[in-house]
Structure 1
């Protein structure tokens, strides 16, 4: 079944990037994923939650390879939200350990693939070793010119927008910015995602249908795709199905 889905939906990068009648590409340039369902996956198997997170890390590896095959330019993963600090200390420690393990295991392959790593949110809130490893990974891949992998760490969209409003307010107070000159483009230029392509497709796994404080501004005209698949089960066929659904959408951006 997976092979059938892939053979039906998998497009070459050249064909998929051709615009449709409305001038929009059939292939999303920027895809974001809310990776949900690790805990439920583990619970269904009577395993500890950490087993679900480990399986989720494997799903990240599969998804990055699948995105590369499809020719997606930028993929953003919601790895740790600013609200996740409410979880038990042991789970936070487990997630931090997995993050460090992922960097050790995958960074060289990411770098060889000419992929640039970007972080949104405040990753320096993590323990010093983890934060330093993230900094080193970003620095190592900074000059890469291929696809971009964006990882949201200690990220919350409301916090991001609050920081932007404070920054603009300071500029207004200092006389550097006229309030009447504030436009959506001015705001977008202050966001954590300012140097990234506009968000085209936002995927959430596990059947939940909410954004959970993720890329609220950026998702204004993104296509939303919800799947019952739990994140540890997400694979190449699942990503191809989401991209195929996107290709069938009529993106009007408020027009006719």
Structure 2
């Protein structure tokens, strides 16, 4: 997500209860789907989410210059500070706090959902998901797998995972690499978001003639990536090239697992796959899905 101000005179935060009981919150580029489960007061949890959502985008917009910078700056808002904390472990490589914005927003809204009788909850911000799981509970989330592979991951209370995020050149944000998708499991959504961005960048074949790139600012004048070349097209690659690109990304993902930053990752490129860390599981239809 690339945070930006709402249009002059445009609508503020919007909230709607979906037919299946989930809550939809929308404001500018932020689009949240919130699921809350259990015998507790779900309406009260929804009210807390709406109150937390109010003013969230404006707070980020107020600090956008610092959030778009690769140089650390003092930040005021709690979501902005969470973004900065999530990207700090990846430096000195180039990264800005915007790499963690979707996950940090999901974490912030999830944080207000707990209450008596709330046993499970999730906040899905365009595929970057923050999870709440009471003891004995689990949730199943879809991932961007290729046909024939498990396309769900089940997270249980005992697992250290509370965040899931996906990045890649085909997604809603720019990528420096060529991964179709990289899904990351991490202790929170902000860290998963930043890690997915960096692993997707690492899945690459620098200088390969099958890859078309353009400066990010040519695609979006406000991009935090500036003149860095982002992927805009990838022609079909041979098995050797796919393997080389995925091996590079998997090696980087493995270092993040070894450092304890992430719990697992799945990397996808033109039908080829690599998985690192916590295994991906087949669907469990008895579990609510994020």
Instruction: Give TM class, smaller chain.
Output: under 0.3
Higher normalized contact order (CA 8 Å, seq sep 6+, divided by chain length): 1
**How high is the TM-score relative to the length of structure 2?**
0.24
Higher helix share goes to which structure? Answer: 1
